């Protein structure tokens, strides 16, 4: 029986616009979004126009031209005056200055909030947007989240917490780089050792250096033989922009190798 949880995501959101070309000129030409698709639909006298913020992985905007009086009344006011869309950025000042220079109207000035730096701007139709640079989680808060995903054998959750250029270093110095290799490596390891888990006993954080050192135990059960291990281990986490850029393991893996070799000396 497949017990994996379902995966869903919001792929696209329609925003009602007055004209395709003027909308493209603003979202692409001014905000710097990418034009993903612009396909004519002659039978409906429409175009399928999709844009996305630079670097966006899933979320996209469908620029939907209003074709009825009711839709025209909704242009610029799809949420009754509330902030409609929330645009995350990795550099608030860069985008705030660029948008201001391009003539974007900010209706609320920048302010620091617990969740990050934010300002509110209006698009060409008056829809309100939050421009947000989320506050980066401290390294000390990132480590337990990452360990929890490992202990849950949640490969997708592990990958989601890693930078695209993530580096994994095992106790022998072998290296894996990139998210595809990382996902494949974790899946193989979880398949080999059931119930693999990390037991953290001590945590040392150097926020200035951006490092977290963990020590404790690594344990698991060999899927083929059913034999178990529990060994002293330590881990080094290096964060970058709120994600795990590097994860290095330190451990004496002889008991694990003995299990893999079928040795009777492993306990």
**Overall fold of domain 12-134:** 2,3-Dihydroxybiphenyl 1,2-Dioxygenase; domain 1 (3.10.180)
Higher pLDDT, 260 or 116: 116
Q: What is the pLDDT of residue 265?
A: 43
CATH numeric code, 139-261 = 3.10.450.50
- Residue range 22-36: mean pLDDT, rounded: 97
Which residues of the chain form CATH 3.10.450.50? 139-261
Q: Does the structure show a pLDDT above 60 at 59?
A: yes
Query: Is the Cβ–Cβ distance between 180 and 155 less than 8 Å?
Result: no
| % of the chain at pLDDT higher than 70 | 94
Average pLDDT over residues 187-214: 88
pLDDT digits (tens, 9 = 90+) for 153-170: 999 999 999 999 999 999
Could you give the residue range(s) of every CATH 3.10.180.10 domain in the chain? 12-134
Confidence (pLDDT) at 267: 37
């Amino acid at each position: 029986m497949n017990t994996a949880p379902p995966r869903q995501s919001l792929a696209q959101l329609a925003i009602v616009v007055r004209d395709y070309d003027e909308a493209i000129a603003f979202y692409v030409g001014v905000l710097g979004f990418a034009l993903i698709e612009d396909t004519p639909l002659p039978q409906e006298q429409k175009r399928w126009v999709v844009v996305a913020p630079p670097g966006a992985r899933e979320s996209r905007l469908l620029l939907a031209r209003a074709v009825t009086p009711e839709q025209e009344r909704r242009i610029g006011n799809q949420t009754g005056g509330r902030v409609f869309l929330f645009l995350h950025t990795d550099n608030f000042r860069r985008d705030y200055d660029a948008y201001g220079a391009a003539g974007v109207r900010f209706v609320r000035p920048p302010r620091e909030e617990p969740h990050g730096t934010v300002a509110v701007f209006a698009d060409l139709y008056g829809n309100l947007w939050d421009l947000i640079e989320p506050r980066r989680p401290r390294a000390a808060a990132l480590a337990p989240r990452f360990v929890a995903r490992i202990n849950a054998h949640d490969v997708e959750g592990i990958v989601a917490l890693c930078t695209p250029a993530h580096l994994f270093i095992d106790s022998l110095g072998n290296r894996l780089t990139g998210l595809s290799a990382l996902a494949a490596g974790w899946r193989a390891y979880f398949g080999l050792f059931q119930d693999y888990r990390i037991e953290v006993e001590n945590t040392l954080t150097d926020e200035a250096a951006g490092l977290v050192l963990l020590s404790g135990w690594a344990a698991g059960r060999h899927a083929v033989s059913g034999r178990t291990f529990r060994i002293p281990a330590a881990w080094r986490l290096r964060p970058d922009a709120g994600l795990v850029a590097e994860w290095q393991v330190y451990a004496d893996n002889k008991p694990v190798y003995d299990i893999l070799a079928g040795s009777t000396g492993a306990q």
